[in-house]
């Protein structure tokens, strides 16, 4: 590998890209880090200035009142007694605060007099009224300036903030940091970025050495394989002029070409194997010759068309196949010299038959691409055709079910979404809406959102239960415990709705193989359905009984009942007997469909007995 030119060329290019990328990324990251750090420092100074303003405001306000009281107003100069107990206390606070946060803090009156400073005694400081940051803060309200400090004799960054009260300026607060500290931080950050970029570049170079070797190694192995299998002769040769791996590979292929005659036997074997594959395909395959006689038909096509393989071989396809669409597709494919796709649909009482038909012509010369319609090959004779039949009846049935499901789901989802949208638009459009009306609208929006959430939850549940990929994870489940939990949860709702709930549950455990969560949902849905359609003062009974080889769960109510004409359809998705009442109660139309799916997954069944204005009895039977 180390002697390979391709390896070193690839690796040199890789190193160039890595180094260039590292430099570019390092510069950009360093610049971004610097900008972010400066922005963070400015933000920190602004926050500290606001904190200092809260501390200084009472003293500056008192100072302003004192000046006005003395007739000094805004023209006062040094009329503040810095030795007063209040200012001495303020100076001590500023000294301690400045030491803790590592910043210089200064409080300045509107006349420029320093009341407190964390670095110097105010009595030793001259008037700061003409400092650049104070002047700019007086005009704009705040200022950030970098300059040489006259007091400390070092470059500082200042953040000054003007304090006002009811339109009157009280004074200024100022927070500053030495630029040397900031420069030190930026240097450290740049060094970290440089170190990280350098470390990444070194790691990438090391990994590049490994992957470059991995890239060139297959070429060498491929050359060795080609040399190993080359034994015969071949009419065409590759002009070998290059050195290295590419030239060696070309010479190996030249040697491999010499074995083409020996490979013909393998091609024949492969063709026979392919014929066996066609025979075992699920799709029907029919092959015809240039006279449109059937020369091959697999069992799937024979079963689909009701033919016998033994009797239809070497007979014209139009005599054996009575489906007009297949013959028309074959004729169109021959005329166009291209693949033709069509479909045949036959309606029946049991299930519609839907077949996708693909017809494609074959060339009478190997290597000629007739299917692509090459104009240079237009004079070639027709060499036969292949017809593929794909029975998509089940897929078509599932697609119809999917469309119906999507249509129903869209309709059900549209109702709460439309209600939420209408209510929200009304609230947004009427800014003067009374608060009680607004609260009613919000309550209705919340109710619709809960309904939408319940609908989505039920849709996900039924999709999971009906999915062919849903894996059953059955375990030993005590149905008595599950039933008791569901009854206990329903008692609260029954008390609120003034409905009597009674339960007759076996004392001993009833163990079945199942999914405890799914069974809990099944029982909850049956009880919830009974509560929704039972008026106040009615009663609901839940009974769990163990029989010889099965367990029976009965949920009986004294509700509105179900007409006999509707009892066979209530387990369909989105079907409601009383749609207006069901929607008013927040029903999704999926509860009983979920119940049926769970029951069938557990090898059980569900049935209903009901009379209008008398009540309903739902009976679930599960194997023990």
Reported as a single tens digit per residue, the pLDDT across 289-307 is 888 888 888 888 888 888 8
Q: Which residues 6+ apart lie within 8 Å of 79 measured at CB?
A: 66, 67, 70, 72, 111
β-pair partners for 622: 551
Q: Is the pLDDT of residue 1 over 60?
A: no
Q: Is the pLDDT of residue 90 over 80?
A: yes
Report the Cα–Cα distance between both ends of the chain, in Å, rounded. Answer: 69
With bands split at pLDDT 50, 70 and 90, how would you rate the model's confidence at 217? low
Do 46 and 137 contact (CB within 8 A), yes or no? no
> What is the per-residue pLDDT across 380-416, written as a single tens digit (0 to 9) for each?
566 788 889 888 887 877 777 677 667 767 767 787 8
pLDDT score, position 366: 46
pLDDT score, position 3: 62
Residue 367 or 480, more confident: 480
Give the global pTM: 0.38
479-497 and 516-532 helices, crossing angle to 10°: 30
Do 522 and 599 contact (CB within 8 A), yes or no? yes
> Which among 90, 56, 62 is positioned nearest to 163, based on CA atoms?
56
Domains 397-466 and 475-623 share a fold: no
Q: How far apart are CA 380 and CA 506, in angstroms?
A: 83
Residue 380 or 169, more confident: 169
Which whole-number Å values give the CA distances from 78 to 87, 126, 150, 610, in the listed order?
A: 14, 10, 20, 98
Residue 132 or 349, more confident: 132
Residue 439 or 593, more confident: 439
* Percent of the chain whose predicted confidence (pLDDT) is above 90: 10
pLDDT score, position 35: 80
Strands 539-546 and 500-505: parallel
Most confident of 204-213, 250-259, 508-517: 508-517
With bands split at pLDDT 50, 70 and 90, how would you rate the model's confidence at 503? very high
Q: How far apart are CA 105 and CA 25, in angstroms?
A: 39
* Percent of the chain whose predicted confidence (pLDDT) is above 70: 77
Do 508 and 544 contact (CB within 8 A), yes or no? no
Domain 475-623 fold is Heat Shock Protein 90 (3.30.565)
Residue 295 or 180, more confident: 295
β-pair partners for 620: 553, 606
Do 284 and 300 contact (CB within 8 A), yes or no? yes
Q: How far apart are CA 359 and CA 70, in angstroms?
A: 108
With bands split at pLDDT 50, 70 and 90, how would you rate the model's confidence at 622? very high
User: Mean pLDDT over residues 530-555, rounded?
Assistant: 90
Q: How far apart are CA 271 and CA 100, in angstroms?
A: 88
On the CB side of 248, CA atoms within 13 Å amount to 14
Burial of 490 (0-12, 13-18, 19+ CB in 10 A): buried
> What is the per-residue pLDDT across 404-461, written as a single tens digit (0 to 9) for each?
667 767 767 787 888 888 889 888 888 888 988 889 889 888 878 877 887 777 777 7
Phi (first) and psi of residue 130, to 5 degrees? -105, 10
> What is the per-residue pLDDT across 16-53, written as a single tens digit (0 to 9) for each?
887 887 788 778 877 777 788 778 888 888 888 888 88
Centre a 10 Å sphere on the Cβ of residue 427 and count the other Cβ atoms it contains: 15
Q: Is the pLDDT of residue 568 over 60?
A: yes
> What is the per-residue pLDDT across 76-87, written as a single tens digit (0 to 9) for each?
334 567 778 888
Q: Is the pLDDT of residue 553 over 90?
A: yes
Domain 281-391 fold is Beta-Lactamase (3.30.450)
Do 457 and 586 contact (CB within 8 A), yes or no? no
Q: Is the pLDDT of residue 232 over 90?
A: no
Q: Is the pLDDT of residue 68 over 60?
A: no
Coil/strand/helix, residue 30: helix
Q: How far apart are CA 624 and CA 621, in angstroms?
A: 10
Task: CATH number for 1-258: choose from 3.30.930.10, 3.40.50.360, 3.30.450.20, 3.40.630.10.
Answer: 3.30.450.20
User: Mean pLDDT over residues 1-13, rounded?
Assistant: 66
User: Mean pLDDT over residues 558-575, rounded?
Assistant: 77
List the single range of 206-210, 212-216, 386-390 with lowest mean pLDDT.
212-216
pLDDT score, position 166: 80
Do 378 and 368 contact (CB within 8 A), yes or no? no
**With helix as H, strand as E and coil as C, how does 543-577 read?**
EEEECCCEEEEEEEECCCCCCCCCCCCCCCCCCCC
Domain 397-466 fold is Helix Hairpins (1.10.287)
Centre a 10 Å sphere on the Cβ of residue 229 and count the other Cβ atoms it contains: 12
Distance of CA 383 to the CA centre of its chain: 51
Most confident of 86-95, 291-300, 491-500, 583-592: 491-500
Q: Is the pLDDT of residue 361 over 80?
A: yes
Mean pLDDT of the chain: 78
Return the domain boundaries, the chain: 1-258, 281-391, 397-466, 475-623
């Amino acid at each position: 590998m180390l002697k390979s030119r391709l390896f070193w060329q690839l690796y040199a290019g890789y190193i160039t890209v890595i180094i260039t990328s590292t430099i570019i990324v390092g510069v950009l990251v360093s610049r971004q880090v610097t900008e972010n750090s400066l922005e963070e420092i400015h933000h920190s100074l602004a926050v500290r200035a606001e904190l200092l303003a809260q501390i200084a405001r009472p003293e500056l306000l008192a100072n302003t009142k004192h000046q006005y009281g003395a007739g000094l107003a805004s023209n006062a100069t040094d009329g503040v007694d810095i030795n007063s107990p209040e200012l001495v206390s303020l100076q001590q606070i500023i000294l301690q605060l400045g030491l803790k946060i590592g910043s210089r803090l200064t409080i300045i009156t509107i006349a420029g007099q320093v009341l407190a400073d964390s670095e110097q005694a105010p009595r030793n400081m001259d008037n700061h009224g003409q400092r650049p940051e104070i002047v700019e803060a007086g005009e704009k309200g705040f200022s950030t300036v970098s300059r040489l400090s006259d007091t400390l004799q070092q470059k500082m960054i200042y953040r000054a903030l003007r304090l006002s009260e009811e339109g009157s300026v009280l004074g200024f607060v100022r927070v500053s940091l030495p630029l040397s500290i900031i420069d030190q931080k930026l240097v450290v950050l740049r060094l970290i970025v440089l170190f990280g970029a350098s470390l990444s570049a070194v790691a990438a170079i090391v990994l590049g050495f490994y992957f470059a070797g991995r890239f060139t190694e297959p070429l060498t192995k491929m050359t060795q394989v080609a040399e190993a299998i080359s034994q015969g002769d071949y009419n065409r040769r590759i002009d070998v002029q290059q050195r290295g791996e590419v030239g060696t590979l070309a010479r190996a292929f030249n040697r491999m070409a010499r074995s083409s005659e020996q490979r013909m036997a393998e091609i024949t074997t492969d063709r026979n194997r392919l014929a066996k594959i066609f025979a075992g395909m699920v799709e029907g395959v029919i092959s015809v010759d240039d006279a449109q006689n059937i020369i091959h038909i697999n069992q799937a096509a024979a079963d689909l068309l009701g033919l016998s393989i033994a009797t239809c071989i070497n007979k014209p396809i139009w005599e054996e196949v009575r489906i007009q669409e297949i013959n028309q597709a074959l004729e169109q494919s021959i005329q166009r010299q291209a693949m033709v796709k069509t479909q045949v649909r036959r309606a029946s009482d049991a299930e519609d038959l839907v077949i996708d038909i693909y017809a494609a012509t074959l060339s009478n010369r190997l290597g000629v691409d007739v299917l692509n319609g090459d104009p240079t090959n237009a004079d070639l004779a027709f060499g036969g055709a292949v017809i593929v039949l794909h029975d998509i009846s089940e897929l078509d049935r599932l697609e119809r079910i999917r469309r119906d499901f999507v249509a129903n789901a869209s309709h059900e989802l549209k109702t709460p979404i439309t209600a939420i949208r209408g209510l929200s638009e009304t609230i947004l459009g009427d800014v003067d809406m009374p608060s009680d009306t607004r609260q009613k609208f919000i309550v209705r929006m919340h109710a619709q959102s809960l309904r939408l959430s319940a609908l989505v939850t039920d849709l996900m549940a039924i999709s999971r239960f009906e999915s062919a990929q849903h894996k059953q994870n059955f375990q030993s489940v005590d149905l008595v415990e599950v039933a008791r939990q569901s009854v206990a949860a329903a008692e609260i709702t029954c008390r609120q709705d003034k409905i009597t709930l009674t339960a007759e549950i076996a004392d001993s455990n009833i163990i079945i193989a199942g999914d405890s969560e799914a069974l809990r949902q099944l029982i909850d849905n049956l009880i919830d359905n009974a509560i929704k359609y039972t008026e106040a003062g009615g009663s609901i009974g839940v009974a769990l009984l163990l029989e010889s080889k099965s367990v029976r769960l009965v949920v009986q109510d004294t509700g509105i009942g179900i007409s006999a004409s509707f009892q066979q359809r209530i387990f369909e998705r989105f079907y409601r007997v009383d749609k207006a009442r069901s929607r008013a109660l927040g029903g999704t139309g999926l509860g009983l469909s979920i119940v049926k799916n769970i029951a069938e997954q557990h090898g059980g069944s569900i049935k209903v007995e009901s009379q209008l204005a008398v009540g309903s009895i739902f009976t679930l039977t599960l194997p023990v």
